[in-house]
Structure formats: C-alpha cells, structure tokens
Chain A
C-alpha cells in the first residue's frame, strides 16, 4: 500500500485529504510544517509527497528542495491555492502542480498517475 505524506498547515484540509486518499486505499502521513514534514520523510520514506507552498516557517518550495536532496526520485505534488507559483521556476522541479479545490478528484487523479509512472521506473534510490 503506497504511503503519501501530506504537508499542510491547515488541519481541516489535511483531514479532508487524508480521508479522501485513504478512501482511495493509500496510507497517509500528515505534517503541519515543512520541518515536521522533512522529519517524517526521513522516518517513513513515503512513496509520494503532497506539499503546500505557503506555510509558516520553511515554505513548500524549500522543503521540496530538501526532499529532493534526500531522494531525487520521489514524486512531489505542489498543492496550493496560489497558481501564481506556477510561474516560479523552482516549482518546475515538482512532478505536478495542483490548485486546491473542494473537488479533490484532480489531486487523487494526479497522485494515482504519478505512483503508476514511478512503478514503471523502479524502486527509489536509497
């Protein structure tokens, strides 16, 4: 069962995504800050990371860079209410960019697609 790390500072949003992804059969780990997310990433080595960008403390783009330092192959989904970050070239390193919405279908679709693509490539580098 693939594990997904959700890093978002809004507890209710985390809860919504957890429930939606768990309904889809994924295991979900939550983190409320980027720092906590990095610790969880080290500890649990999830198969995919969903990162909010705007958070107190370290933001999602910096967190992405650090995650990629540890594992260059883990798929990362930037998940934000701001589509303006699409224009920030740092965000281009992400595998997907999904705008937050009440309709979680796009997020779920994206997660599923990235995990399938990764399955063809092989296990993560350690």
Chain B
C-alpha cells in the first residue's frame, strides 16, 4: 500500500457535516478504480494512482503533469492549474491524446483543489458516446458529491450504520439527521438497493471496494425520486474496512427528460413512417386503414378502438366508414421502430373489428343535427374528449352505443377549412383515460390523415374521370367504326340500286316486246315456246332485280330497336300458316313464358324469319314439321327455326352463308348471307346446325333489350364495398 500521506495532504475534505481525510478520499478513488494524480502548484506529480503508473510503464511521482497523459507542455498550461488555486472551484476539461496509448483516445480530467494541492481525476471515456451516462455520472458523484448539494452523501460505519448524512440525503429521505443516525443502511434504502445486506455487505465491500449506480426509488413527502446509489468502502490502514460512503444522486429530472425525449423520438418516428406510408397511398380505403392501424396499434397510439366517419362529397351527411379494434392484450408503447403500418393496415380483421365496423357503418347523421357529438366534432378546431369514466359522467348515448362506455376522443378531419370527417378514438379498457400524448399525437395523425383523404379523393375523382374518358373514347371508336361500316354499306347500296335501275329499263324493253310477240304468235307456232322462254326469263330477271333492290333497302335501315320476340314469332308464323296447310306441313310455335324484350329490327327479323321459314318449307316433305321457337338463354333471346326435312350436307353447311351459293334453282343466293348480315346488324349471330336427313336448326341470337345497350353495367360509385 502506498503512502498517500506523502506531501502536505493534511487538510480534511468536508462533506456535509462529515470530514474525510485526504488519504481516505484517495483510497476511495483507488478502490473505485478511478485513475488520479495529485499535483502541486508547479504541476509536479506528488501522488499517482497505481493503474496510471502501470499504464505509463513508469512511476510518475516527481514527474511533470504532461507525462501523465502524454499531454504537451502547452496543454499543461492550458490546464490552468493556477485558476483552480485562485478560485478554489473544481473544473473539468477534455484532454485529447496525441498518441494512442493504454489510456485510450480521450480523457476527461476533473481538477479539485485540495488546499495546496490539486487532485486530478482522469476518466477514460473511451469514445464520446460511451461517456454518457454511466461514466460521467459515476465520476461526478465521486468528485462533486463530496461538496455539492444535489448529491447526497451518507457516511456509514463498518456495520453499515449511519454515521453522518448531508442535507441532500436528508431531503431525499424526508428525515432529519438525528432520526437516521445509527440506523442500519438497509432500513433507509429500499430493499435490494445493494445486493448483500448487513455484515455480508461489509465483506463484499472489503473485496470489491465499491458498488456503483444502483438505481433505486425513494418516496418521501409525496415526492417520488429516482436515485442512483453508489457505495464505496473507506479503507484504513491494514485493509480493515472502517467506513463506507454512500452517494445518492437524484436523477428524477434527467430520467423524466430522457423518457420525454424517447417518447418524442418515438412519436416523430411514428409520424414519419405514417407520413411516408400515406405519401405513396392513393386509395381512400388504404389511407383510412393506415390511419386506423396507427391509432389502435400498441406501437402507435395504442387506443382501444378507432373509427372514421366521412362526409361524402356533395352530401350533407356524416357516414360511418371504417373501424378497427385494438389488440387489448398487447402492452401499450411496444416496438415503434420498424413498425410496418402497411402490413398492420391490411391484416385480416378480427371478430371485434367486424362487429365494431358493422355498427360504425350503420351511422348516418345529417349535418344539421349540430348537437350530435360527431357532427359537433366536425366543426371543432380542437379535439374533443368525452370522458365517461366516472359514474356521474354522462356519455352521449349514440357514442356509448357505438363504442361502449369509456373515454372517447373525437378529432375533426379538415382540409383547407373543408370538413371531411371525424376520427374517433376510444381508450383501452384497461386505461382510465386517454393520455395527453395520445391526444396530441392524435391531433397530428388527424392533420396528416385529412390531407391524405383529400388527396385520395382527388385521386379517385381523377381516376373516375379518366375511366369515363376511356369509356367515352371506346364508345366513340365503336361508333366511328359503325358509321364507317354503315357508310360503306350505304355506298354499296346506292351502287346496287343504280345497277338495278340501269338494267331494269332495257330489261323492260326486251321483256315488253317479248310479251307482245308472245301475244301475236299462235300457240301452235313452233316459235311460241322460244318466245315464252324469253318472257319467263326476263320476268325472272326482273324478280331477281326486285329482290336485290328490296334487300339493299332493308339493309340500309337502322337495326337496333326494341322488339317483342313473342309478337315477332307469331307474326312470322302467321304468314306461313296458309302455306303450311297447302303443303300439309305442321307449323308449330313454342314461345317461352316471360321472354324479355330483345334488341333488333322487327322489319329485318321478319325478313330473316321469312327467309328461314321459306327454306324450311322447301326442305320438309308433306307430313313434316317446322317449329318456330323463342327462348331465353342467359343474356340473350334465341329465335330458332327447326325443320325435320332433308338437312344439309357437310359442304352445304360450310357454304350456306356464302354469297352467291345456292342449292335452289330460283335462288339468288342472297337469302342466307343477307339474313346473317341482317342479324349481325341487330347485334348478334345467325348459326345453323344440321345433318343430312336429320333436318336443320337455324338459330338467331339477339341481345336482351337495354335502354343503354352500348354501355357496360354501371360501375360502383364509391370504394366502400371494395
């Protein structure tokens, strides 16, 4: 053991009502493992702690202070030791180490005047961030605790009974010195303040010299303090423990500030993430789900439940929109960092969520019901708290019906002074109230949410307009195509009509004179047959021309009107009843009940049915059957002409709709192609199904009539069902 009494270190160090010998102080520092030197006025080292000498590799005593930390001589002057002597006040300064060494990169040096000497305590702080709070706090306690008021100092004897206490300790314990003198330490400090008690603690101290920074809570006079307690043994000669110093540092304020700071950081982190998620969220429902998740998640505001009510654009009513219940089991203020708001927002709803949302979605409040708390909140500038915690409190019945009894927080959602809706937050069941920080954070969330809602609405409006535009564009293109086709058809029609006319005149001349000849030639004249052929063939040509003209005119008519399929079928069949009797063919109509109106042209379809029936009658033998059927299949009306006649061969079936293809001697070949075109003008198809000897079935498929036939089914106007 070194003799720390070397040199003039005689002046006692006063702590409260107790004085410590200087050598006791140095022993204390040694025990605590704190490096130190004692310097005289010339910066000569009188005493150096063993650790310091060991790290330097030489005994420092008698050397100059700059050798201690490889300080430069100029730095030594900067240490202003005279200043310490002059003011008698302790001071601290940093010493940067120029060469890396055993003492580390940075040191904090505390200088404390001790009479004609200066005690220099050197704290190895390592990197600056390791400095706080442990190191500084500990060294501060050791140094300044000896004289400064906020630090409590208790001196105990070897049995751990109180010998002395300074005023700070008395304030912390709420007692006067007489009351605590002689009391065992563990009666004054909370249980567990120091791990071993009584005599055992003394043994522990004898081995370890000091116990640092036990965090304890002291409650006295209605004040709750968080205190760091350190205990250092004062060792006398021969290593016997003769006393111990307990140093108590009140860190309540720091702790509170620290907690406050942490909370603020967490809030800011949350808000930053919240804003970040909102900034790339465009759909209204997504925005709302993110907002609700932020309100109810324990890592967010940790409310018991939350709901959002919105005023739909252009309407004077507040409607319940979405809701979410919190997880009642999760502790509040959980992990905030890395909180995945998006994943939370779209987590599948639980049973509580669904029930709450059902209740919320039923809410419809006209805006003129100004006394309704939700409507009132819409106009509020500050969030409103409805506290129904106590028995005497009256909670608005509609709010209680929605959320149950308990404190409720309502924040208006406003954007550019426009009321958009209301956010409602409900306290957790296990919380008596909504905390002020929940209210303030809720206000920030509501502000950000309002902006995002306004943006989402704008986005939806734009999307809707874009879709309208695309639809209009599509319709326009469709109509253009139709116009173009119709123009072409019309031009072809005009040409055909012109040809008919041009041929008709010379044909009338040829046919007319042929008839005159026929009238003048006696029947027994051999030329009579020749002339008759002339007459017949010109007549046939005229009927062909008439047919073409008729078809062309028909094809130029508009084809999409409302038609009654039943009436159409009956009218078509009516025209063939006489022929049916004549040909001994059964003509039957089968019309499904409750047929909807179809879309087409009555004139066209009559023409087509006429054509199909005519073909059918040509195909059936006497005794055969022709059936005209009308039925509904899904979104179409089917008109079917079925016969049990000769049927069509595979080749006929393939070519039957080709222009100019005919199996009939007097056919123009225009019949079925025209029929198909007329049906397609009505909007759908004409198909045939047949086998030789098994009859044929022609099928006209027509769209069911709708007023707005071109448009798709109306799109849903809001995202609410989505």
Which residues of A pack against B, CB within 8 Å?
10, 12-13, 16, 19-20, 54, 81-84, 100-104
Contacts and interface: CB of A to CB of B under 8 A. Distances in A.
Contacts of A101: 504, 508, 511, 542
A13 B511 contact: no
Contacts of A20: 512, 516
Contacts of A10: 505, 509
Contacts of B500: 81
B501 interface: yes
B470 interface: no
Contact of B508 (A13, A19, A82): A13
A20 B517 CA distance: 12
B166 interface: no
Nearest to A10: B505
Contacts of B542: 101-103
B507 A102 contact: yes
B625 interface: no
Tell me the interface secondary structure of chain A in the complex: loop
A104 B515 contact: yes
B538 interface: yes
Nearest to B513: A16
B678 interface: no
Contacts of A103: 511-512, 515, 539, 542
21 contacts: A10-B509, A13-B505, A13-B509, A13-B512, A16-B509, A19-B516, A81-B500, A81-B504, A81-B508, A82-B497, A100-B508, A101-B542, A102-B507, A102-B511, A102-B514, A102-B515, A102-B538, A102-B539, A103-B512, A103-B515, A103-B542
A102 B510 contact: yes
Q: Which 4 residue pairs across A and B have the least CB separation, nearest first? A: A102-B511, A16-B512, A81-B504, A12-B509
A68 B519 CA distance: 37
B547 to A, nearest CB: 13
A59 B375 CA distance: 80
B550 to A, nearest CB: 10
Nearest to A9: B505
Interface in B476-534: 497, 500-501, 504-516
B515 A81 contact: no
Nearest to B498: A82
A83 to B, nearest CB: 8
B636 to A, nearest CB: 34
Contact of A81 (B501, B510, B514): B501
B231 to A, nearest CB: 120
A100 to B, nearest CB: 5
A84 B511 CA distance: 22
Interface residues of B, number: 21
Main secondary structure on B side of the interface with A: helix
A16 B506 CA distance: 11
Contacts of B511: 101-103
Given A102-B539, A103-B539, A84 B497 contact: yes
Contacts of A82: 497, 501
Contacts of A100: 504-505, 508
Contacts of A83: 549
Contacts of A102: 507-512, 514-515, 535, 538-539, 542
B501 A16 contact: no
Contacts of B539: 102-103
Contacts of B538: 102
A16 B497 contact: no
A98 B156 CA distance: 140
A54 B509 CA distance: 17
B512 A104 contact: yes
Nearest to B507: A102
A81 B516 contact: no
A123 to B, nearest CB: 32
A83 B497 CA distance: 10
Contacts of B509: 10, 12-13, 16, 102
Nearest to A82: B501
Nearest to B553: A84
A81 B513 contact: no
A40 to B, nearest CB: 22
Contacts of B505: 10, 13, 81, 100
A100 B509 CA distance: 10
A10 B510 CA distance: 13
A54 B504 CA distance: 13
A102 B513 CA distance: 8
A109 to B, nearest CB: 15
Find the residue from A12, A84, A101 having the highest chain B CB count within 10 A: A101
Nearest to B506: A12
Interface string B530-560: 0000010011001000000100000000000
A12 B506 CA distance: 8
A55 to B, nearest CB: 12
A65 B504 CA distance: 26
Contacts of A54: 501
Interface in B348-396: none
B647 to A, nearest CB: 38
A103 B508 CA distance: 7
A12 B514 CA distance: 13
A84 B550 CA distance: 11
A12 B510 CA distance: 9
A73 to B, nearest CB: 29
Contacts of B497: 82, 84
Nearest to A84: B497
A81 to B, nearest CB: 4
Which residue, of A13, A16, A54, A81, has the highest number of chain B Cβ atoms within 10 A? A81
Contacts of A104: 512, 515
Interface in B271-293: none
Contacts of B504: 81, 100-101
Contacts of B514: 102
B388 to A, nearest CB: 83
A101 B507 CA distance: 8
A43 B512 CA distance: 30
A102 B549 CA distance: 17
A103 B507 CA distance: 10
